Amino acid sequence: MDEQRTALSVKEIPAETMSEALVSMKHLAANARLICEKVNGKARIMGIVKANAYGHGLHKVAEQLEASGISDFGVANIHEALELKTGGALKKSATILAFSSPLPSHIEFFLKYGIDMTVCDHATLRAAQEIASAQGRTLAVQVKVDTGMGRLGIAPGMAMELLREIGRSSHLELKGIYTHFAESATPEGFTRQQLAAFKKLTAEYEHASAKTVCKHAANSGAILSNKESWLDMVRPGILLYGYHPAKNTPCRLDVRPVMQVESRVIFIKPLSRGTTISYNRTWTAPKTCSIATVAIGYADGYSRALSGKARVMINGHVYPQVGTVTMDQIMVDLGTEHQVKIGDRATLFGWSGPSAEELADSAGTISYEILCGVSSRVKRVFL
């Protein structure tokens, strides 16, 4: 009975919500098209949709990318892979690669659901071989080579034996070999060393085995800065969502932000000169003004590090955010004269108003974190 009352009360709430993340399928499709044109058919494209498609909504994003001609998808782990595989409407022919090195208990799920599994060591490989053999099935694997990122992967000097062991197995299928750049936006120096080590290993393997295999290394930064790194497949992430991985990439694409986060003005109050605002009284009104309270805070992903540093757009005008960002609300200085009303939309970042990159600069972080940080409390609205 209590559950029924709760359901009824939720339905009675007006459809308009406090905070929304507007996700533009048009911008996403245009960004994917720009990347396709950049690569110009020289490599396949793997759409990176980990972390709920960088906060944009996994299934809608993946379906739009598939409609744009992309059939390879990269996710963080088996949990994300199963969500993508079973929770949406992707074609059965889509390839999903989970980048994380799996725990032994995860292996059977890669096998059951046809997910490409990353292999970085002999112990995982042998566990995979044993499970696949016991079921009389074939498991698709991709070998991750650590050429200098220092996170996951087998060293180039040890990778050949791992590859040979896969080749000897009748229950493992090698679908790819890949690596990841530590400084992808800078094509020279360390990136060039990483690429050279990777290409040397893969050339030796293909020569020794008389087989060709899908080789991939280029993320967004390398797509823009290092054509030599495209190989057989590229892995755009942040570029798909409308941002560049770094300000110093030698090439820029005319990508547009895919997400715009908006909320509502829920309160407006006049403020006298000398009045302080929010926790720890970090802002004092220099003169008489009006303060708008906007229904978004760090629980929604609007970082506390933005306190007193960000700008908010309301009705086409940009106003400074003042005082400490709280869990559920922020305060905005409307100045002495304004036309803002309770219920007006406030744009926190997106294709109009401040960008995620601007917020990232203010918070001392990167656009990736701003996008991924938008919490589930913010309703995704797909345009």
Same-domain pairing of 222 and 286: no
Same-domain pairing of 289 and 236: no
Q: Is residue 15 part of a domain?
A: no
Torsion of CA 56, 57, 58, 61, to 10 degrees: -70
CATH number, domain with residue 289: 2.40.37.10
pLDDT bucket at 88, cuts 50 / 70 / 90: confident
Give tens-digit pLDDT for 10-38: 566 665 668 999 999 999 999 999 999 99
Active site residues: 50, 279
How many Å apart are CA 321 and CA 340, to the nearest integer?
15
Domain, as residue range, for 111 = 25-241
Same-domain pairing of 118 and 229: yes
Q: Number of folded domains in the chain?
A: 2
Domain boundary among 181, 209, 241: 241
Question: What pLDDT score does 10 carry?
Answer: 58
Q: Is residue 2 part of a domain?
A: no
Q: Is residue 286 part of a domain?
A: yes
Give tens-digit pLDDT for 149-158: 999 999 999 9
Percent of the chain with pLDDT over 70: 96
Side-chain-facing half-sphere of 242: CA atoms under 13 Å: 26
Question: What pLDDT score does 6 carry?
Answer: 58
pLDDT bucket at 3, cuts 50 / 70 / 90: low
| 379: alpha, beta or left? (left if phi > 0; alpha if psi -120 to 50) | beta
CATH number, domain with residue 174: 3.20.20.10
pLDDT at 248 over 90: no
Nearest to 84 by CA among 109, 118, 101: 109
Residue 89, helix vs strand vs coil: coil
Same-domain pairing of 128 and 213: yes
The radius of gyration of the chain from alpha carbons, rounded to an integer in Å, stands at 24
Same-domain pairing of 227 and 292: no
Domain boundary among 211, 241, 271: 241
How many Å apart are CA 260 and CA 103, to the nearest integer?
37
Q: Is residue 287 part of a domain?
A: yes
Same-domain pairing of 212 and 274: no
Structure tokens of 333?
Answer: 């200085």
| 349: alpha, beta or left? (left if phi > 0; alpha if psi -120 to 50) | beta
Q: Is residue 16 part of a domain?
A: no
Amino acid found at 33: R
Same-domain pairing of 145 and 270: no
Mean pLDDT, the chain, whole residue set: 94
Q: What is the mean pLDDT of residues 358-370?
A: 97
* DSSP single-letter state for residue 101: P
pLDDT bucket at 5, cuts 50 / 70 / 90: low
- Whether 236 contacts 223, CB under 8 Å: yes
Residue 35 neighbours by CB distance under 10 Å: 22
Q: Is residue 202 part of a domain?
A: yes
Q: What is the mean pLDDT of residues 52-62?
A: 97
Residue 26, helix vs strand vs coil: helix
Same-domain pairing of 270 and 353: yes
Give tens-digit pLDDT for 338-354: 999 999 999 999 999 99
Give tens-digit pLDDT for 95-139: 999 999 999 999 999 999 999 999 999 999 999 999 999 999 999
Q: Is residue 377 part of a domain?
A: yes
Structure tokens of 40?
Answer: 């110009």
Give tens-digit pLDDT for 180-234: 999 998 888 999 999 999 999 999 999 999 999 999 999 999 999 999 999 999 9
* Burial track 293-302 (b if 16+ CB lie within 10 A, e otherwise): bbbbbbebbb
Alpha-carbon dihedral sign for residues 265, 269, 272, 275: negative
Same-domain pairing of 217 and 136: yes
Domain boundary among 241, 271, 298: 241
Q: What is the mean pLDDT of residues 246-274?
A: 93
Same-domain pairing of 293 and 147: no
Q: Is residue 138 part of a domain?
A: yes
Q: Where are the alpha helices (DSSP H) in 155-245?
A: 156-168, 190-209, 220-225
Same-domain pairing of 265 and 233: no
Same-domain pairing of 59 and 208: yes
